[in-house]
Amino acid sequence: MPRVTVHRKAHFNAAHRIFNKEWSDQKNLEFFGKCSNPNYHGHNYDLIVSVTGEVDPVSGFVMDLSILRRLIKSEIEEAFDHKNLNVEVSEFKKMNPTAENIAVVIYDKLRVKIDEKLDLSIKLYETPRNFVTYSGE
Ligand code: NI
């Protein structure tokens, strides 16, 4: 059976602050740059969720994209969209909400909801030019 990757794009806006709480605001600014702003700031995150597997001979699908769409909505968008990630998302109470860490959290939330015989990969854009990928390695 051919293995094919299906992709679903999604989007959320969220605020964050990247910082080390042991450091002064000045040291955080020097190390983390503008993302350390003590008053937070927002990003328009673009998310691409990719699922790879064999094409099912009956349905013709790798995975029903309407199911993937609903999973992304319930697990990711409802948890992150229009939220302050540091304050309102439990995973980031003690972990910096960098694009890297957000991608890992998204992966972990979706991985448990998707058939284990399918491979999952996350691509997260924090800006149009800065993005990260994570596939669970
Ligand atoms: Ni930022």
Domain extent listing, the chain: 3-15+42-134
CA of 16 to the centre of ligand 1 (A): 6
In CATH, which of 3.80.30.20, 3.30.70.100, 3.30.479.10, 3.30.565.10 is domain 3-15+42-134? 3.30.479.10
For the question of residue 41 being annotated catalytic, the response is no
Report how far ligand 1's centroid is from the alpha carbon of 47 (Å): 16
Q: In what order do the strands lie in the sheet with 131-134?
A: 83-84, 3-16, 41-54, 119-125, 131-134
Between CA 130 and CA 75 the distance in angstroms is: 23
In this predicted model, what pLDDT tens digit does every residue of 51-88 receive, in sequence order? 999 999 999 999 999 999 999 999 999 999 999 999 99
C-alpha 17 to ligand 1 mean position (Å): 6
Give, for all 137 residues of the chain, the pLDDT tens digit. 899 999 999 999 999 999 999 999 999 999 999 999 999 999 999 999 999 999 999 999 999 999 999 999 999 999 999 999 999 999 999 999 999 999 999 999 999 999 999 999 999 999 999 999 999 99
Select which of 7, 11, 41, 82 is catalytic: 82
Residue 46 CA to residue 90 CA, distance in Å, equals 21
Catalytic-role residue among 35, 41, 78, 91: 35
* Ligand 1 midpoint to CA 113 (Å): 28
Q: Which amino acid, one-letter code, is at 40?
A: Y
Q: Among residues 135, 133, 131, 134, which one has the least CA distance to residue 44?
A: 131
User: What per-residue string of b and e applies to 2-15 under the rule 16 or more CB within 10 Å gives b?
Assistant: eeeebebebebebb
- 75 catalytic? Reply is no
Catalytic: 30? no
pTM assigned to the model: 0.95
